Structure 1
Amino acid sequence: MSKTTAKGYKIWEPLLLAIVAVVGMIAGSKMAEKSHGPHDKLDGTSANQISEIVRFIEEQYVDEVDSGELVEKAIESILGELDPHSGYFSPEELLDINEKMSGHFDGIGVQFHVLRDTIVILYVNPDGPADLAGIQPHDRIVSADGTGMVGRQLDEVDIVHQLRGAKGTTVNVEVVRHGIDSLMQYAIIRDEIPIESVLAAYMLDEHTGYIKLKRFSSTTYREFMSALETMVVEEDAKNLVIDLRDNPGGYLKEAVNILSQLFREKGKILVYTEGEHAKRMEYKSTGNPYYEVDNLVVLIDGSSASASEIIAGAIQDHDRGVILGTRSYGKGLVQEQYPLNNGGALRLTVARYYTPSGRCIQRPYENEVVVENSNASETDSMIFTTSYGRVVEADGGIDPDIEVPARFSWYDDDLYVTYTQMIEYMFYGFEPVYQDHHLTLAAYLRDFPRSAALQEDFAEYIELGAESDDFEKFDRDWNRAYIMLKAMASSYRFGHEAWYKVVNKEDPVVTKAIEVVKEDLRTTLKI
């Protein structure tokens, strides 16, 4: 083989392997077996055809080709013929995903936003590298390791690349601080920064705990149990509200471990998986909860998916608690991840997961008109029953037992006041309150400006007069904007939990949950 051909093969190798993996899957190869990966079979007719075409392109095509770009497009096209959750991840994408799922990354421990071509620190992780070095909220980073970070178009990816680095390495930054004329210099030693799954855990009332789960990473179960222990042992929690809204899922194992802590009985099926080449695997409760909880409410919405739906489905099918909110996303497929030689990975759907009653809640997608349920007849394939005989359906997602829509979305694009305007106002028009060093969140919220006064000040800041044609829309949206401002200012001062303590007081879903969790379960579910 010539050097040119050998080089060409190495460039195209990731594509060939991905193609072979897909062809092997369709042909019935045993990819689910750990001892046989997608790299084992390179002798198929289809693979030979692809390899031959690649060699011709590399050696004979009239123009120079961007092999990397062609590979990416080809892989996307191949996997696009499968389900929407199978996919190829480049080395860069895989690194980001692995960081989130591992529950940590190496960095300096700050949240920032680019305002007026300057990096502004929003939040500093307590006891993190930046905090220990002396960085404060509201500081403006103007350089990092001698590279200027002001007065040019700043890309968030470039900023992250500049500030992050291996644990133990140092980044030297210069910052501008409010009220100080000279530049301040800090040497920040990078360290491991946690990516929290539990964003809030506090008592809603005297006996009701609340846990907000953002994702199911490798640390989620440990975080959940730590939060539950504090509320049950130290704060006398009897009932629990688990908020899975906007939680896209993650590791199945973490969801199963959490579920097992919510059932007193041993041997209850919590979820099972099964596929064409994957034998049925059942996950059951251990019957050994460390901290017992009486009544349970789980909150879901259209962004609750995968592992979130596993928890909601098991709780609903066993009539263990009440599912409240709006219908979940509908992702009932299980993926295996296979590493590729270029540092990327192929994530391939190998099985479906089923709730205890036998429901597969995968919503239909383009290449699958009807969601299949392996243990259901043709006439009742979408109808199932819970432990107490309630009828539940598998029609693309988990339908809540009690439907309660959110009062409004925090992410609506039609909100007149933008996120950037709020951030700018907090830093440039709202400094005295933001900089005020209240010792507690309760004191901070007590002294927070009232809505009417803040509305007038904010309108003046964005130069919006009462006579403006847009003032009516601004006035209509102000209540939501005020809550967001209050929540944002609180969270940047006191952390994630402060956000939920503010917004949950205005959230009809949480209000209903507090009411329902105190009721008799059989009465609520009519069983």
Structure 2
Amino acid sequence: MQKGTKRNIFVAATYAAVLLLGILLGQNYADEQGSKPGSTLVPIGLSSNTWKVQQLLNLVAEAYVDSVDIDSVQNGAINHIISHLDPYSSYLVPYESQRQTEILEGTFEGIGMEYFNLNDTLMIVSLINGGPADKAGFRVGDKLLKIGDERVAGMNISRESVEKLIRGRRGTEVYIHVKRDGEEMVAPIKVVRDQITVSSLDVVYMIESGVGYIKVRRFGINTAAEFKQAIIELKKQGAQKLILDLRDNGGGYFHMAIKMASEFFADRRLIVYTQGAHEERHEYYSDSTQGGNFATGQLVVLINENTASASEIVAGAIQDWDRGTIVGRRSYGKGIVQEQFDFSDGSTVNLSIARYFTPLGRSIQKKYIPNWSNMIDYNNMYNGLWALDTLYAHGMAFETQAGKKVYSGGGILPDIHVAQDSNALSLFYQDLIQYSFIEQFVYTRFTKQAPAYSIENFLQGYHLPDNEYGVFIEFVREEGFVISDRKKDELRDLIESDIEALVGRLYFGREAYFKVKNRNDSFVQKALEFLQPTN
């Protein structure tokens, strides 16, 4: 295996994210791992380390009793090897590799439409402003009946199948039959596929006078440039303090995290360094040519248990240099860097090559155990690699220049802790999320007519009417779920907040969802309290 001159290093979490919504345009909003095409793997002959594997594959291909798909056998062998290394190394077939690259690059060829599967019918819940679907005349609330000649309504069709029907080369056409306001439209809508760009920033706005707020979804190829522009715009609006929200950000491109972190320092600072068994120590510094665009001013970074890898690099550098205050809950604890190696058929191996360390030398990687010891125990050889690590155990202690104690091992521990909401952990609420009951309720009741108010009025004063919560409870009970009056009262604020945010998203777009949700968000409230001026 030889490395080419072009290397693309990335970090990303491999935990699963629950997708509440499917994306017709081939892009999802979940945080997944991936990278740009990197080093190419080419056949270099057999070696003392690989001859048995290759000989076995040749033997199966030439002598096995039944004909087999040798590609599938190879894929299985590769997956078996990779699965025993660490929790992050992975093998991606060509489709998966292409999809992850599109997600992190934020560009792809599609039509700019998002749908939700409501009672086995695909309903449009979002359109990209100025995108092909928007220009073609689609509306939020439209229900898709046929895509081309393929019927999709009532067919229990998978998201992957829908994408294959929707996606295609830029400039090509697709005809979609639609049901609108309860009536099937006479003619299908023609839409011309185009290049679609999706920002890696969920929302940028002034959350209070003098306080800017930016939520970063992932570290894609354009994140640093988008973040820099967002900072400039917020400062024009008077932002002197900033809340950087990295909750649920599973990572992305390693170098984008370094570039984004550079915005918080006026001089040259070590952001992170990497080192591995086959990788010498490599240090990465902030860009000191011009200084960051938010090198001064109070900074709060929000993290939670799903803040991982590239996000932890940013949070770790800010914490080690006493540049800002970390608010939230202990982060995921992913301190390993991957490099992507490409096979000639388009498949890729994302291989862990080094550990990364914060400026003070902290490793935030949580414990895992390589699984090769299970090779004899065939029933358990595919079990997970994680060691028991349910409680935070302080590793080596470090001290910042300001005298603050920070620790290695098991993620970034916040400076200000935000307790977990017990209501959000309740089994009933988790069932509501798993079965998408809140989405079903909103998309059933709130798509029948357009809102009678502006986005400004909605964000400032909209609250769910008193009777709607009772209607929602009855809706859930009709689906066979049992909820006591006590639990109904305990969950009311949380569920109403979810409904209000989703209504905002439906009527006014993705940014409105986060603006509404932040009104009662405990992390955000804790950050704003910290940023309040002292007398």
TM-score of the pair, normalised by structure 2: 0.83
Q: Which residue of 2 aligns with 1:25?
A: none
The aligned counterpart of 2:268 is: 267
Task: After TM superposition, list the pairs within 5 Å mapping 1:344-363 onto structure 2.
Answer: 344-363=347-366
Q: Given the superposition, is the C-alpha separation of residues 475 and 68 from structure 1 closer, same or farther in structure 2, using an over 3 Å criterion? A: farther
Aligned to 1:420: 436
Name the structure 1 match of 2:207.
204
**Aligned-pair distance for 1:113?**
1.0
Asked if 2 retains the 8 angstrom alpha-carbon contact of 1:464 and 1:471, the reply is no
Match of residue 16 from structure 2 = none
Displacement after TM superposition at 1:410 (Å):
6.3
| C-alpha distance in structure 2 between counterparts of 1:221 and 1:411, whole Å | 34
The answer on 1:251 being equivalent to 2:253 is yes
Residue in 2 aligned with 1:327? 330
TM-score by length of 1: 0.84
Partner residue, 2:14 = none
Deviations 1:112-142 (Å, cap 9, x if unpaired)? 0111221110111111111111000000111
2:399 corresponds to:
385
Q: Shift of residue 184 of structure 1?
A: 4.5
Q: Is the 8 A contact 1:298 1:323 kept in 2?
A: yes
- Rate the CA distance shift 1:413–1:120 in 2: closer, same or farther, 3 A: farther
> SS of the residue aligned with 1:414?
helix
| Identity over aligned pairs, percent | 32
Instruction: Mark the runs of 5 or more structure 1 residues left unpaired by the alignment.
Output: 1-20, 22-29, 372-379
Structure 1 window deviating more from structure 2 (503-512 vs 440-449): it is 440-449
Number of equivalences: 480
Note the C-alpha offset of 1:426.
Answer: 2.3
Q: Which residue of 133, 145, 154 maps to 2:148?
A: 145
1:199 aligns to what SS in structure 2? strand
Letter in 2 for 1:480: L
Residues 518 and 286 of structure 1: is their aligned pair in 2 closer, same or farther, counting only changes over 3 Å? farther
Write the letter of the residue equivalent to 1:492. L
1:268 partner letter: R
Matches of 1:307 and 1:353 in 2, distance apart?
10
Report if aligned partners of 1:487, 1:503 keep a CA contact under 8 Å in 2: yes
DSSP-derived class of the 1:405 partner: coil
Mapping of residues 150-189 of structure 1, within 5 Å: 150-178=153-181, 180=183, 182-189=185-192
* Cα gap change, 1:231 to 1:64, in 2 (>3 Å): same
Which ranges of 4 or more aligned residues in structure 1 deviate by more than 6 Å?
A: 368-371, 409-412
Give 1:8's aligned residue. Answer: none
CA 389–71 in structure 1, closer or farther in 2 if over 3 Å, else same: same
Distance 1:34 1:193, change over 3 A: closer
Counterpart in the other structure of 2:457:
442
After superposition, the C-alpha distances for 1:215-238 in whole angstroms (9 at most, x for unaligned) are 0000111111121111101x1000
Given the alignment, which residue of 519, 523, 526 partners 1:505?
519
- Larger Cα Rg: Structure 1 or Structure 2? 1
- State the Cα deviation string for residues 260-306 of structure 1 (Å, max 9, x = none): 11011x22111111222222222222331235440001011111111
Q: Tell me if the contact between 1:267 and 1:285 (Cα under 8 Å) persists in the aligned partners.
A: yes
Deviation of 1:48 (Å): 2.0
CA distance in 2, matches of 1:408, 1:218: 37
Distance across 2 between alignment mates of 1:468 and 1:59:
56
Summarize the Cα distance change of 1:255–1:241 in structure 2 as closer, same or farther, 3 Å threshold.
same
Distance in 1 (CA, whole Å) between partners of 2:338 and 2:421 is: 34
Task: Judge which range, 64-73 or 168-177, deviates more.
Answer: 64-73
Contact between 2:459 and 2:512, CA under 8 Å: does it hold in 1?
no
Structure number with the bigger relative contact order (C-alpha 8 A, sep ≥ 6) is 2
Note the alpha carbon deviations across 1:489-526, whole angstroms, 9 max, x for none: 10122222211111111111110101113468xx9xxx
> 2-side partners of 1:502 and 1:411: how far apart?
21
1:375 maps to which residue? none
Identify if the C-alpha distance between structure 1 residues 114 and 338 changes in structure 2 by more than 3 Å, giving closer, same or farther. same
Residues 150-201 of structure 1 show CA distances to partners (whole Å, capped at 9, x for unaligned) of 2222111111211122211111111111165643521111112223211011
Of residues 467, 470, 473, the one that matches 2:483 is 470
Q: Show the counterpart of 1:483.
A: 497
Cα separation, partners in 2 of 1:485 and 1:211, compared to 1, 3 Å: same
Change (3 A) 1:98 1:253: same
Higher deviation after alignment, 101-110 or 438-447 = 438-447
Distance 1:277 1:32 in 2: 15
The root-mean-square deviation of aligned C-alpha atoms, in Å, is 2.8
Choose the corresponding residue for 2:367, options 364, 384, 399. Answer: 364
Aligned residue type for 2:282: M
